[in-house]
Amino acid sequence: MNTTRTTKYGQGKDALLAATVKVVAERGLHGLTFRAVSEVAQVNNTLISHHFGTKDALLHEAVAWATARSMRLSDISSTDSIDSNFARELVELVDREPHLQMFQYEFILESRRRPDLHDEAVALYEGYIGALENLLTKQGHVNTRPLARAIFATLDGLVLQQLTVADPKSVQDAIECIEKLLEANLSTTQVDSSS
């Protein structure tokens, strides 16, 4: 009898990377082993070794995979504004795939302890900040890099709150406030430039 296992992430390498994200989200980076990933993916751990070679290579590929997936699902790079639709979709993403966010937080914290991960952690956050900066530039904001960093820090903190201490509705309401703050900032910028 032939049985086929499927995951919501697909098969092959994607399934192994999804399993890695889940392991790190649930057990931290210290719990990341080929054996743990193989148990979650329901494959032989030699398959993981075959695809990635080392635990560090697996981790680096999982970071890239999780970041790309999170960026695509949150749609930051293609959104026109941080509005109620964006807020709802981000909150739903965190509810639907909390492991993606937990994994990234675990990785960021570990990069503080392991300097060899620092550049990759910076790149992870700079990718999000860059996407927000592009959005702000399209909207006509000035001094967009610091503003994008501030907005990202707010969103990042709200996602962490949703994962730990806040209900999704409170987080969604808070994200929607960002739109009002940005509108006020844009209005101030336009008044200052016309003076």
Mean pLDDT of 159-182: 97
- Distance, in Å, from the CA atom of 46 to the CA atom of 51, rounded to the nearest integer, reads 9
pLDDT tens, residue by residue, 77-119:
678 889 999 999 999 999 999 999 999 999 999 999 999 999 9
pLDDT for residue 58 is more than 60: yes
Domain interval for residue 63 = 56-194
Q: Is residue 44 part of a domain?
A: no
Q: Is residue 128 part of a domain?
A: yes
Q: Is residue 72 part of a domain?
A: yes
- Contact present, 137 and 144 (Cβ < 8 Å): yes
pLDDT for residue 28 is more than 60: yes
Q: Which residues contact 19 (CB under 8 A, 6 or more apart)?
A: 7, 37, 38, 40, 41
* 9: nearest Cα among 73, 102, 88: 73
| pTM of the predicted structure, to 2 decimals | 0.85
Mean pLDDT of 138-160: 96
Q: Is residue 140 part of a domain?
A: yes
Q: What is the pLDDT of residue 193?
A: 63
Q: Is residue 89 part of a domain?
A: yes
Does residue 76 or residue 115 have the better pLDDT?
115
SS3 string of the chain? CCCCCCECCECCHHHHHHHHHHHHHHHCHHHCCHHHHHHHHCCCHHHHHHHHCCHHHHHHHHHHHHHHHHHHHHCHHHCCCCCHHHHHHHHHHHHHCHHHHHHHHHHHHHHHHCHHHHHHHHHHHHHHHHHHHHHHHHHCCCCHHHHHHHHHHHHHHHHHHHHHCCCHHHHHHHHHHHHHHHHHHHHHHHHHHHC
Question: How many domains does the structure of the chain reveal?
Answer: 1
Q: Is residue 17 part of a domain?
A: no
- Contact present, 21 and 103 (Cβ < 8 Å): yes
- Contact present, 78 and 4 (Cβ < 8 Å): no
Q: Is residue 43 part of a domain?
A: no
Q: Is residue 120 part of a domain?
A: yes
| Percent of the chain surpassing pLDDT 90 | 76
The domain that holds 117 is classified in CATH as 1.10.357.10
Mean residue pLDDT across the chain:
89
